[in-house]
């Protein structure tokens, strides 16, 4: 590995073996099945989660890992942090790795918060003296002083994440890997966490950050990896990776029009989603959704529509349950969703539609798209930087003394 390189990856692949053998929890059925077909072998499917990745990451770089669901982002972090082994390839790591990949990783539920700090630090390769030196700082950051001697199995998911992140971020590892579990925390904790990760990168630590929230990737990271279908599609600046990511939206939307290729059980599907191709920022946004019938289904379902910006970040979730609207599966429906009071910045937006009951029946991402015209709803002209920082526009006034 060259000097100044934190991570070097060559020909990295990860393949999962998926068995489709029929299984039963009844001994009589299992015995009868064996007698009928004693030499039957399980059907096996191989799934390439990662395929021939090659890249190097310099020390002190904050790297965003972006891509759609199923692109291989979390699998890559698990391989880099040695939670799972690669199928082929070579990984070189220059230093110890601290990670936070999912809620409670590395914690023992029966131990207290205090005991888990020492346990987690030991697993990261820290000496007890190192952990003790940073202990007060960790607890102060996590904000769990009152519950320090309570078993962590009694913690909420937010408390879990705060403590786990505090341990991973404050102990002296050279590489810090974070999956999108920070979404569990509140807004103030997310702000503190992003600031801590920026400080870690400035101090020479290497940060790997997986997120669907592109504004946090833009705010934190200095470069990005874009994964698509388990392959490394682009490695470069954050903006160039986001440009490549956005360019895949239209192709993905075409694939999603085939209901058989969409996620979900398929018990019920949306058959069409329509909206106006262009609107002004302050206009109502009307989205029409056609839903098929399934006479064999007798439980009501609900619909949830997400409006996403050009980076894929969810700007608004419009869930029929908040208005106590449920749909009868025995008959087809055409519903009109009207979104009022949402001032969107000029640009392109997409609509995802989810048909749900206890689980997801249909997940149609990129079901429709519309453009917000560059006609701002404000009384005066202003330069771009007067409104560029917000995710959405808003109606506001200033009152000045003496007016």
49 is a domain residue: yes
* 271 and 219 share one domain: no
Q: Which range among 127-131, 209-213, 292-296 shows the weakest confidence by mean pLDDT?
A: 209-213
Measured from the Cβ of residue 255, the count of other Cβ atoms closer than 10 Å reads: 11
- Boundary (domain end) residue, out of 204, 223, 247: 247
Q: Give the C-alpha separation, 175 to 166, whole Å.
A: 15
123 occurs within a structural domain: yes
Say yes or no to pLDDT of 327 above 70. yes
Q: How far apart are CA 84 and CA 72, in angstroms?
A: 13
> Quick one: average pLDDT of 33-51?
72
Statement to judge: residues 243 and 273 lie in one domain: no
Mean pLDDT of 151-174: 83
**How much is the average pLDDT of 141-161?**
87
Query: Is 284 found in the same domain as 222?
Result: no
Tokens at residue 233, please?
A: 């599609």
Residue 183 — pLDDT band, cuts 50, 70, 90?
Answer: low
Q: Given this model, what pLDDT does residue 30 score?
A: 63
Cβ 297 vs Cβ 270: under 8 Å:
no
| CA–CA separation, 50 and 12 (whole Å) | 7
For the stretch 83-93, pLDDT in tens is 889 999 999 99
User: Is residue 258 included in any domain, yes or no?
Assistant: no
How many independent structural domains does the chain possess?
A: 2
For residues 274 and 242, state if they share a domain. Answer: no
Return the axis-axis angle of helices 249-256 and 238-247, rounded to nearest 10°. Answer: 30
Q: Examine the fold and report which residue of 247, 278, 299 is the final residue of a domain before the chain moves on.
A: 247
pLDDT value, residue 388:
75
For the cut 90, the answer to whether the pLDDT of residue 178 exceeds it is no
Tokens of 99: 């990670």
For residues 165 and 193, the answer to whether their CB atoms sit within 8 Å is: yes
Q: Are residues 191 and 293 in the same domain?
A: no
| Radius of gyration, CA atoms only, the chain | 25
In a domain, 392, yes or no: no
Q: Could you count the other beta carbons within 10 Å of the beta carbon of residue 368?
A: 22
Q: What is the pLDDT of residues 118-141, one digit of tens each?
A: 988 887 777 888 889 989 998 998
* 383 or 302: which leads in pLDDT: 302
**How many DSSP H helices and E strands does the chain contain?**
9, 19
Q: Quick one: 270 and 243 in the same domain?
A: no
Q: Is residue 97 part of a domain?
A: yes
CATH (domain of 312)? 2.70.50.60
Domain membership of residue 371 (yes or no) is: yes
Give the domain extent around 287. 263-379
Residues 242 and 318 both lie in one domain: no
Residues 320, 238, single domain; the answer is: no
Q: What is the pLDDT of residues 376-394, one digit of tens each?
A: 888 887 777 787 777 888 8
What's the whole-model pTM score? 0.70
Same-domain check for residues 161 and 279: no
Among 247, 274, 309, residue at a domain's last position: 247
Give domain status of residue 172, yes or no: yes
User: Would you call 79 exposed, middle or buried from its count of C-beta atoms within 10 A (0-12, 13-18, 19+)?
Assistant: buried
Residue 384 forms part of a structural domain: no
Same domain, 203 and 269: no
**Is a pLDDT exceeding 80 seen at residue 351?**
yes
Across residues 262-287, what is the average pLDDT?
93
- In this prediction, residue 190 carries a pLDDT of 75
**Residue 328 pLDDT:** 95
Whether 234 and 285 share a structural domain? no
- Looking at the structure, tell me whether residues 218 and 270 fall in a common domain: no
Domain at 196, CATH number: 3.40.50.300
């Amino acid at each position: 590995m060259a000097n100044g390189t934190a991570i070097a990856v060559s020909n990295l692949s990860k393949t999962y073996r998926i068995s489709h053998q029929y299984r039963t929890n009844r001994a009589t059925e299992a015995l009868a099945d064996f007698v009928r077909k004693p030499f039957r072998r399980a059907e096996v499917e191989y799934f390439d989660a990662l395929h021939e990745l090659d890249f190097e990451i310099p020390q002190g770089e904050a790297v965003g890992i972006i891509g759609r669901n199923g692109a291989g982002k979390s699998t890559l972090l698990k391989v880099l942090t040695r939670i799972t082994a690669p199928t082929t390839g070579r990984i070189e790591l220059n230093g110890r790795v601290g990670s936070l990949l999912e809620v409670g990783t590395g914690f023992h539920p029966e131990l207290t918060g205090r005991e888990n700090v020492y346990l987690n630090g030991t697993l990261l390769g820290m000496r007890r003296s190192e952990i003790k030196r940073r202990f007060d700082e960790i607890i102060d950051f996590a904000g769990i002083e009152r519950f320090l001697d309570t078993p962590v199995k009694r913690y909420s998911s937010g408390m879990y994440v705060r403590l786990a992140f505090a341990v991973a971020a404050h102990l002296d590892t050279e590489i810090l890997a974070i999956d999108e579990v920070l979404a569990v925390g509140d807004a103030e904790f997310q702000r503190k966490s992003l600031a801590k990760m920026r400080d870690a990168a400035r101090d020479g630590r290497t940060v790997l950050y997986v997120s669907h929230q592109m504004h946090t990737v833009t705010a934190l990271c200095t470069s990005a990896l874009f994964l698509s279908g388990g392959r490394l599609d682009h490695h470069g600046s954050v903006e160039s990776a986001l440009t490549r990511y956005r360019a895949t939206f239209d192709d993905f939307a075409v694939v999603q029009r085939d209901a058989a290729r969409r996620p979900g059980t398929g018990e019920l599907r949306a058959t069409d989603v329509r909206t106006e191709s262009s609107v002004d920022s302050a206009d109502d946004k009307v989205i029409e959704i056609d839903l098929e019938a399934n006479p064999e289904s007798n439980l009501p379902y609900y619909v949830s529509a997400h409006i996403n910006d050009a980076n894929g970040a969810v700007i608004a979730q419009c869930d029929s349950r908040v208005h106590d609207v449920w749909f009868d599966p025995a008959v087809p429906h055409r519903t009109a969703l009207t979104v009022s009071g949402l001032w969107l910045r000029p640009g392109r937006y997409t609509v995802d539609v989810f048909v749900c009951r206890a689980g997801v029946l249909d997940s149609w991402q990129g079901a429709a798209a519309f453009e917000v015209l560059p006609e701002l709803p404000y009384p005066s002209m202003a330069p771009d930087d007067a409104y560029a920082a917000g995710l959405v526009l808003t109606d506001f006034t200033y009152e000045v003394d003496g007016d």
